């Protein structure tokens, strides 16, 4: 499958693809569109890469036509940033539903101290939740207990609490089996952004094994090397360690991603080359570096560019 096939066969997306996505969401509001793409591939190597973006727009200023534009342009997943934006970035049911209707996977990132909230955001419609800044194995283990419904009779105080899940026909699931059966596509995403998770290969491999034990495509990883450098200083081994991380994850059937680009890498060709390197290393969740709030400016600059070139050619 190619990257264009993964988003419906064309870019920009056509109306028929939006209709298909809206129908799929109405039939199953618990679907995870990115997991569906990965589930169709026999391995990480065969899976098409999908493009994502971090969303810093406050929930009360978000508009559905923005989500429509993101999807039409070819984005597949959006991280609603409740870590650095805090409550402004914690999206509610209506906002998540709007993203889901246009086929965007809603990934809710929360602050590093959050635990039980990771399971709660699934009740608000998010289909994936992201934990930043881990340094210990125990943190990752606790995170996955919080995002999963427990096996009856084997619950711990950290396991996700019971709350009815609604299906597409608005029927509530009230039994343990129906709850677990309705939510087979939720995901826990762990950020690898500390030296403990990126460079310490013993710790890294324990975390990856834990992620793999969650089930096929139920856990993903996302690299934030900027935080590792911010904590530890300039570490020349970080880039090689990230490539090794992608390879180790792929061997376990785990999909990983990273931001590609930065304030020091604005040339589209440089960004494209960096994305090629990430994909060839095994990354499948590719993230553009601007935030969603940057897109109106970038669009406005693109629209005004012909005018100023024309004025200059006419001597003005």
Reported as a single tens digit per residue, the pLDDT across 121-172 is 999 999 999 999 999 999 999 999 999 988 888 888 888 888 888 888 989 8
Alpha helix (H) residue ranges in the chain: 3-6, 15-27, 33-39, 64-73, 93-101, 116-123, 137-147, 176-182, 195-198, 201-212, 225-232, 238-251, 268-281, 295-313
First to last CA, the chain: 49
Whether the pLDDT of residue 177 is over 70: the answer is yes
Residue 312 lies in a domain: no
Q: Which domain holds residue 253?
A: 3-306
Residue 168 lies in a domain: yes
Q: Which residue, chain included where needed, has tokens 């024309």?
A: 310
Read off the CATH number of the domain in which 299 is found: 3.20.20.60
Split into its structural domains, the chain has a count of 1
Which of 37-46, 57-66, 175-184, 276-285 is the least confident region? 175-184
Residue 316 lies in a domain: no
Residue 101 lies in a domain: yes
Residue 10 lies in a domain: yes
State pTM to two decimals: 0.94
Residue 175 lies in a domain: yes
Residue 61 lies in a domain: yes
Whether the pLDDT of residue 231 is over 90: the answer is no
What φ, ψ does residue 233 adopt, rounded to 5°?
Answer: 90, 180
Query: Hey, which residues does 165 pair with through a beta bridge?
Result: 173
Percent of the chain residues topping a pLDDT of 90: 79
Residue 180 lies in a domain: yes
235-274 pLDDT per residue, tens:
788 889 999 999 999 999 999 999 998 766 788 899 999 9
């Amino acid at each position: 499958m190619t990257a264009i096939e993964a988003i419906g066969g064309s870019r920009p997306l056509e109306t028929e693809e939006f209709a298909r996505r809206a129908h799929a969401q109405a039939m199953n509001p618990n679907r995870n569109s990115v997991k569906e793409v990965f589930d169709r591939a026999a391995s990480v190597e065969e899976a098409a890469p999908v493009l994502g973006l971090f969303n810093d727009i406050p929930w009360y200023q978000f508009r559905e036509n923005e989500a429509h534009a993101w999807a039409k342009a070819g984005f597949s997943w959006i991280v609603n940033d409740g870590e650095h934006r805090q409550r402004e970035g914690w999206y509610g049911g209506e906002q998540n539903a709007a993203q889901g209707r246009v086929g965007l996977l809603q990934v809710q990132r929360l602050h590093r101290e959050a635990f039980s909230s990771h399971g709660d955001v699934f009740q608000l419609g998010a289909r994936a939740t992201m934990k930043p800044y881990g340094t210990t194995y125990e943190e990752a283990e606790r995170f996955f207990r919080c995002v999963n419904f427990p096996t009856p009779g084997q619950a711990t105080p950290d396991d996700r609490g019971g709350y009815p899940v609604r299906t597409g026909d608005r029927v509530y699931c009230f039994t343990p089996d129906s709850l677990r059966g309705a939510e087979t596509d939720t995901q826990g995403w762990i950020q690898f952004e500390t030296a403990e998770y990126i460079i310490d290969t013993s710790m890294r491999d324990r975390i990856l094994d834990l992620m793999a034990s969650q089930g096929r495509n139920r856990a993903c990883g996302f690299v934030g090397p900027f935080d590792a450098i911010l904590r530890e200083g300039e570490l020349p081994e970080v880039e090689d360690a990230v490539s090794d991380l992608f390879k180790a994850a792929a061997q376990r059937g785990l999909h990983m991603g990273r931001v590609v680009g930065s304030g020091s890498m604005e040339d589209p060709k440089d960004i494209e080359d960096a994305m090629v390197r990430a994909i060839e290393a095994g990354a499948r969740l590719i993230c553009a570096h601007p935030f969603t709030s940057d897109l109106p400016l970038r669009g406005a600059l693109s629209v005004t560019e012909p005018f100023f070139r024309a004025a200059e050619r006419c001597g003005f």
